[in-house]
Homo-oligomer: A and B are copies of this chain.
Amino acid sequence: MEERDRLEAYLRDRGLKMTVARETVLRAFLGLERHVSAEELYDEARRLDPSIGQATVFRTIKLLADAGLAREACRDDGARQYEHAWKHGHHDHLMCVRCGAVVEFQDDAIERAQEAVYSAHGYVPGGHRLELLGLCPACAGTGGGKGSA
């Protein structure tokens, strides 16, 4: 498993250790092909190993993020969210505010325009977060416009 190797390398570089708990969290994370909160990840990890502690999951997901395996985002309602980052190219999100459906997309025009903004202000690019909100076709079709007044 390439991700496991990556984590092990990361740990070794820092004098840290590869443990069964960390591997459990990694497997739980990789098994969930969507955005997860630490809480959800905890639930999944417990399915793989009921003895795992919540603190460990919190600690480990942060480690995964540092190691470049997970990407951290922030959600409106408080809980932080994590998504796969390893060999998953950069992408942004298009989310339906009604049903929560998420589309991951990548758009060169947007990326280029962002580069232009960076250089216009003399900044050195270092990542970005873009979230487009709106109504998905299904929700828009079922009267999602406003109130049905």
Chain A: residues with CB nearer than 8 A to chain B? Answer: 72, 74-76, 78, 94, 96-97, 103, 105, 107, 109-110, 112-114, 116-118, 120-137, 140, 144-145
Contact = CB atoms under 8 A, between A and B. Distances in A.
B124 A144 contact: yes
B126 A114 contact: no
B125 A132 contact: yes
A140 B125 CA distance: 10
B124 A135 contact: yes
A140 B116 contact: no
Contact of A140 (B124, B130, B131): B124
Nearest to A97: B126
Contacts of A132: 114, 117-118, 123, 125, 128
Nearest to A105: B117
Contact of A75 (B74, B120, B121): B74
Contact of A122 (B97, B112, B137): B137
Contacts of A96: 123
A76 B78 CA distance: 10
A94 B103 CA distance: 24
A133 B109 CA distance: 18
